[in-house]
């Protein structure tokens, strides 16, 4: 029990400490740490465990320059030594994901029957999403959950991040080599590095204004 409470205190501290940082020092992020952080992002849950999201790590000068142009000259990709691009895969159910089903079955997480039925169940579910025009939305949700995992892990490692808005999706796709892929979507751009600024907490609204019980609103 004590260990669990200690873990919660650590997570609480990390979440409260995290800020969105716009300016970065040029110090590189060690490759082993970058590998660990992206691995933690990919531990995030996903619909049907399809893992319909990927992370593209951009560290080259040319790649970051292309992302700078795609973001209209924002400082993040110019300064941060690492840019992460979270890609949502809306057609993942149509690809061979046999490794997923086998890993879950072999590890005892899923029964053989459940693993065998999962590919068809996932296909039917996602086909319905496509019919309703929701396939992209659902894939982006999975990618955003992964991005949130990485932001918290990065803060715990002493690094800064910032979930970025304000970019041209076509230009970002071209920068990471998926130009013209209608089944792939840019969910989020995220700089990663050592902060060159200290940002104060901007505050949050009173809990009573945004956290409700049973129904939305305060009645």
Mean pLDDT of 1-5: 69
Q: What is the mean pLDDT of the chain?
A: 95
- Say if residue 150's pLDDT is above 70: yes
Q: Looking at residue 132, which CATH number applies to its domain? A: 3.40.109.10
**Residue 184 pLDDT level (bands cut at 50, 70, 90):** very high
The reply to whether 83 falls in a domain is yes
Instruction: Work out whether strand 53-58 and strand 184-193 pair parallel, antiparallel, or are unpaired.
Output: unpaired
The reply to whether 53 falls in a domain is yes
Other beta carbons within 10 angstroms of residue 74's beta carbon come to: 19
Query: What is d(CA 10, CA 12) in angstroms, rounded to the nearest whole number?
Result: 5
Q: What's the total number of domains in the chain?
A: 1
**Residue 5 pLDDT level (bands cut at 50, 70, 90):** confident
Query: What is d(CA 3, CA 1) in angstroms, rounded to the nearest whole number?
Result: 5
Q: Give the CB-side neighbour count of residue 34, counting CA atoms within 13 A.
A: 17
The reply to whether 12 falls in a domain is no
In tens, the pLDDT along 58-110 reads 999 999 999 999 999 999 999 999 999 999 999 999 999 999 999 999 999 99
The reply to whether 65 falls in a domain is yes
In this prediction, what percent of the chain has a pLDDT beyond 70?
A: 99
The reply to whether 100 falls in a domain is yes
Asked if 87 and 54 touch (Cβ cutoff 8 Å), the reply is yes
Query: What is d(CA 193, CA 212) in angstroms, rounded to the nearest whole number?
Result: 36
The reply to whether 195 falls in a domain is yes
Nearest to 172 by CA among 90, 81, 64: 64
- Say if residue 1's pLDDT is above 80: no
Nearest to 92 by CA among 141, 58, 43, 57: 141
The reply to whether 204 falls in a domain is yes
Q: Where are the alpha helices (DSSP H) in 28-94?
A: 31-41, 61-70, 75-79
Q: What pLDDT is stored for residue 11 in this prediction?
A: 95
**Residue 173 pLDDT level (bands cut at 50, 70, 90):** very high
Query: What is d(CA 32, CA 54) in angstroms, rounded to the nearest whole number?
Result: 18
* Secondary element (H or E) of residue 10: helix 2-17
Q: What pLDDT is stored for residue 2 in this prediction?
A: 54
Query: What is d(CA 122, CA 127) in angstroms, rounded to the nearest whole number?
Result: 8
The whole domain housing 199 covers: 22-210
Other beta carbons within 10 angstroms of residue 63's beta carbon come to: 18
The reply to whether 33 falls in a domain is yes
């Amino acid at each position: 029990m004590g260990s669990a409470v200690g873990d919660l205190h650590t997570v609480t501290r990390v979440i409260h400490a995290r800020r969105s940082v716009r300016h970065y020092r040029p110090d590189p992020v060690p490759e082993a740490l970058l590998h660990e952080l992206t691995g933690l992002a990919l531990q995030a849950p996903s619909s049907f465990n399809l893992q319909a999201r990927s992370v593209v790590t951009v560290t080259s000068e040319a790649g970051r320059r292309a992302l700078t142009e795609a973001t209209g000259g924002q400082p993040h990709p110019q300064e941060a030594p690492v840019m992460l691009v979270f890609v949502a895969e809306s057609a993942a159910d149509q690809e061979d994901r046999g490794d997923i089903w086998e890993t879950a079955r072999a590890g005892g997480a899923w029964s053989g029957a459940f693993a065998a039925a999962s590919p068809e169940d996932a296909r039917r579910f996602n086909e319905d999403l496509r019919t309703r025009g929701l396939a992209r939305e659902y894939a982006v949700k999975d990618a955003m959950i992964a991005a949130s995992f990485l932001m918290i892990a990065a803060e715990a490692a002493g690094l800064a991040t910032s979930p970025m808005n304000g970019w041209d999706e076509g230009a970002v796709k071209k920068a990471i080599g998926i130009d013209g892929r209608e089944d792939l979507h840019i969910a989020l751009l995220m700089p990663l590095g050592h902060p060159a600024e200290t940002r104060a907490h901007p505050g949050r609204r009173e809990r009573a204004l945004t956290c409700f019980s049973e129904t939305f609103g305060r009645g």
